[in-house]
Amino acid sequence: MNDVPLIPIPTFSYPIQTTRKSGLLIPSVGYDNRFGMLYRQSYFWAFSPSQDLTITPDYKSDLGYGGDLAYRYVLDRKSRGQWMLSFLQQTELPNVSGVQPTGSEANRTRGMITGSHTQQVTPDLLIRAQAFLVSDPDYLQQLSNSGAQRALPSGESNLDIRQRFTHGNLYLLGQFLQPMGVGGEDTFQRLPEIGNNLVNVAPFGGPVVLGMENAIANFYRAEGFNHSRADVMPTLSTDPLTIGHVIAVTPQVRPRGVFYTRGVATQDVVHRETFWASVDATSRLTRRFSLGEGTSLLHSIEPDVIYEFVPPSDQSKIVQLDDRDDLPKKNLVTYSFRSRLLEMGSRGTRNWLDLTFAQSYHPGSVQTQARDFFATAPLVGTTTQPLQPATTPVRGRKFSDIWTRMVIGTPTPTLPTGTSSLDVAGMTRITQLI
């Protein structure tokens, strides 16, 4: 064709059968110096196009027997979930550090439940749930082969319900932390937190843009005092102010007031008022190059400078449980440079190169204290539940490291032929039948 020799090649698709099949999977046989001989045999049951169950009996000669149940489902395009139940009937003590070979708890039942569920009830109502529960705090430390799981300080289970509105949303959040590496009966649980967010509202059509972030949280624990907190933070900004049609400047200020039902050493109400202010100046230079046949190359350069300021405030009386309570002073300038190459044509826009450099500078004093994550005794509270975290001296720097990000090309993921609805949901499983 057109003086170019061609060789015809027949086309075919694989796999030939696109429907999922139930059956036994390839067994897993091995040996572990901690648990002895290992044998796992899974059965995959695809009882509907949008649901499946994997049953996996498990035997360890030097530990015990049990198994896993893994259930996955897709309710619709935006609602799905996956859950796993792990069960172990322990007959011998695990051969791991920290376990005495003469212990008296060899014969016991242990297990773990993990999973998540996401459901889009209506276009504006979203429910997300996550569970991570174990039978005993040493379950992962003694039985998991994952170093990341063995290092988990706690297992988090939560429920997040969000209702979206035209200019914001309303949410309900519940959080339960099961202590593993650290924590105990005095660990605070977030039961519950209720909040709302309001974004980009221009009162009376004026130039000022209003936002709002409010949250009320109740913290409960089995041992020790309970605690509640109310956080109010409005946001005031304007549309970008142009200077010579070249530079766009956006000022923003966020006053913040946080009220607590008690303090670290007092049962009286404690409060703290502060603010965050910033000025962002940015510009954009573009040039278009023609590539012919209706296609062009757009090159843009976007420098940006942002200044942030938070005044120092007294935090010595506040029970510090999360980042809402820890608001250190801030005096920071961050500047960045972004360069992009985009191919634009009748078929759409394709990214060639997206390159960003950024660095920060402290005009005032640098940081001299930082949280000590490995402290054995906090300033106030207990090791399992610090109320005022311990700090350690650090040597701050005026300039930060240079941060770089580069993206080459436009990722375009494709789905293989015969992909099921569960695989589209991001839960791919290789099923090998025997």
pLDDT tens digits along 311-347: 999 888 899 888 889 888 999 999 999 999 999 888 8
Residue that the structure tokens 């009162």 belong to:
203
Report helix, strand or coil for 223: coil
Residue 366's pLDDT is 86
Residue 384's pLDDT is 64
Rounded to an integer, what distance in angstroms lies between the CA atom of residue 121 and that of residue 126?
Answer: 6
Question: C-alpha 430: how far from its chain's center?
Answer: 26
**180, HSE (Cβ side, Cα atoms, 13 Å):** 23
The strand pair at 108-122 and 125-134 is best described as antiparallel
Name the stretches of the chain with pLDDT < 70.
1-2, 12-18, 98, 100-104, 373-384, 411-434
Measuring CA to CA, which residue among 156, 196, 150 is closest to residue 322? 156
Phi, psi of 423 (to 5 degrees): -70, -35
Residue 418's pLDDT is 41
Residue 393's pLDDT is 81
Residue that the structure tokens 């799905």 belong to:
80
pTM summary value: 0.77
Report helix, strand or coil for 366: coil
State the amino acid at position 314 in one-letter form: D
